[in-house]
Amino acid sequence: MNFVLLGVFIMLKYRNIFLLTGFLLIINHLQLNAELKVTPVANLSLLGGQYFLEGEKDSFAGNADVFFSPVISFSEKTALLPIYQGLYSNTKDVKELVGGGTLTRKVLDNSLTLKGTHKISDTLKVKAKVGYKIEYLQETKDEKLGEGLFDYNRLAAGIEGEKLLNNNWNIRSGYDFYIMSYPNYASLITTFQTSIDTATYTEISKNAGKNVLDYSTHELFIEAVHGFSEKLTGKVSYDIAYKGFEDQAIVNSDGSFSSSKRTDLVHLLSIGIYQKLEKVSLNIINSVQYYDSNQNSFDANRTQYNANYYDFFQNDVMPSLVFELSKGFNINLWWDIAYRQYTERPAQDVEGNYKTSEISQITNTTGVSVIVPVYKSFAVKVAGNYRDSSSNNKYEANYRYNYNTSNYFAGINWEY
């Protein structure tokens, strides 16, 4: 019996490796069939560099990014795409996890997706997908990777249709469903009580439920792409997502918990334009997001009730320039500026006292990457970026609102 349990444990721990190996064996078998065509597509990036937070540098570390997809064409109309993506980051970063910016030290992502596409006619195509992702986040030095508070698993499925119209319009629309689960959150909450704010701890205490961060999402999207000319393309898209937290109760004005559960509604409207010039490409995207949640917050230390704690508007503008100096040799310059305004979350001073104004935050990020081909599919890649975040909220015992970070990386990039 112990050997059986050990075998099950090994299969669960290394399930991505087993699944990827299984895909490779299936592909090898399919290649024996002359009617099928298998076209492998791969990309590997290995970079090393340093990260700086508020001017303090971290030790030299490395990042790795892997993409692999053997495209299986059954015919000119039908294809299957098994996709594996892996990411390992051994450098610090500030990520938005649950309600605010959190400093992370290491990140490990593994995802496996199976996509199918079928061409019904010359102008109509349908697609379907199913996938699974695991993300590990390390926040502190003494925390082991895989035991993080915000580690999550994501199971996703979706279907979409794509229609090409006669007037140079390409329309995509579809539905996605995914389930997010945080396996370590409930079991570690008492351990991490001192490292999170009172409002968050109150919301996720046992009276409010056990798996309080777990949620499922229904998402609808539509995208329209129009070719104005051979060199000018415009795109507009709209997404609406409904998130249901089945185990997180609503916080009442007195700090108690309602029988109702938390639900969030997310609207995202994006408009973009792409201009292709001689040796230069310009891309500008403007995204507007409105996040609407029925969840509130209660700060027991200051007996402060904050309604609609997670509601905000955000406008994000990202222009970028790509200079193609020669075949495979390009320079990418980009800038991302985001302004977020919380509708009812009050700002706080350094000591945590509440102000009359709501929290606003501006985040500026500029970056550059250079890819220089050296031999066949191998290239040297150099990249770096600088980010600056400023806010009228000065209380940062739990989340980061005011900070600046920078990093640089150099290494090799391989494409197949």
Within 8 A by CB and 6+ apart from 51, the residues are: 57, 58, 61, 91, 92, 93, 405, 406, 407
pLDDT at residue 383 above 50?
A: yes
pLDDT at residue 357 above 80?
A: yes
Cα dist from 69 to 228, 245, 415, whole Å:
32, 33, 12
Write out pLDDT tens, residues 208-219: 578 889 999 999
pLDDT at residue 34 above 60?
A: no
Cα dist from 403 to 246, 362, 370, 390, whole Å:
34, 11, 26, 7
Reported as type and span, the H/E element at residue 218 is strand 215-227
In the chain, what percentage of residues exceed pLDDT 70?
Answer: 85
pLDDT at residue 397 above 90?
A: no
Q: Given the structure tokens 């918990």, which residue do they identify? A: 257
> 3-state SS of 360-410?
EEEEEEEEEEEEEEEECCEEEEEEEEEEEEEECCCCCCCCECCEEEEEEEE
Residue 282 CA to residue 231 CA, distance in Å, equals 10
Cα dist from 244 to 103, 208, 214, 249, 329, whole Å:
27, 15, 9, 11, 46
Write out pLDDT tens, residues 219-253: 999 999 999 998 999 999 999 999 999 999 999 99
pLDDT of residue 21: 53
Write out pLDDT tens, residues 101-154: 677 778 899 999 999 999 999 999 999 999 999 999 888 777 888 888 889 999
Least trusted range by pLDDT, from 99-108, 160-169, 196-205? 196-205
pLDDT at residue 65 above 70?
A: yes
* Residue of 69 and 185 predicted with greater confidence: 69
Evaluate the CA torsion angle 287, 292, 296, 302 in order and state its sign. Answer: positive
- How many C-beta atoms surround the C-beta of residue 25 within 10 A? 10
Find out whether 108 and 135 touch, Cβ atoms under 8 Å. Answer: yes
In the chain, what percentage of residues exceed pLDDT 90?
Answer: 62
* Residue of 416 and 156 predicted with greater confidence: 156
Residue 308 CA to residue 251 CA, distance in Å, equals 10
Q: Which amino acid, one-letter code, is at 339?
A: Y
Overall average pLDDT of the 361-379 stretch:
95
pLDDT of residue 149: 83
Residue 36 CA to residue 76 CA, distance in Å, equals 10
pLDDT at residue 192 above 60?
A: no
pLDDT of residue 129: 97
Phi, psi of 6 (to 5 degrees): -60, -40
pLDDT of residue 13: 46
Domains detected in the chain? 2-326+411-415 (2.40.160), 327-408 (no CATH)
User: Phi-psi region for residue 140, left (φ > 0), alpha (ψ -120 to 50) or beta?
Assistant: beta
* Residue of 334 and 31 predicted with greater confidence: 334
> Which range among 50-59, 181-190, 261-270 has the greatest average pLDDT?
261-270
Mean pLDDT of the chain: 86
Radius of gyration of the chain (CA): 24
DSSP 206: G
Token code pair at residue 360: 């606003």
pLDDT of residue 188: 41
Overall average pLDDT of the 22-29 stretch:
52
Phi, psi of 298 (to 5 degrees): -135, 120
Find out whether 218 and 177 touch, Cβ atoms under 8 Å. Answer: yes
Chain centroid to CA 88: 14
pLDDT of residue 180: 95
Write out pLDDT tens, residues 269-327: 999 999 998 899 999 999 999 999 999 998 888 889 999 999 999 999 999 999 998 88
pLDDT of residue 207: 60
Token code pair at residue 97: 């996890």
SS3 56: strand
* Residue of 174 and 259 predicted with greater confidence: 174
pLDDT of residue 271: 98
Q: Given the structure tokens 């640089």, which residue do they identify? A: 408
pLDDT of residue 214: 94
* The model's pTM: 0.83
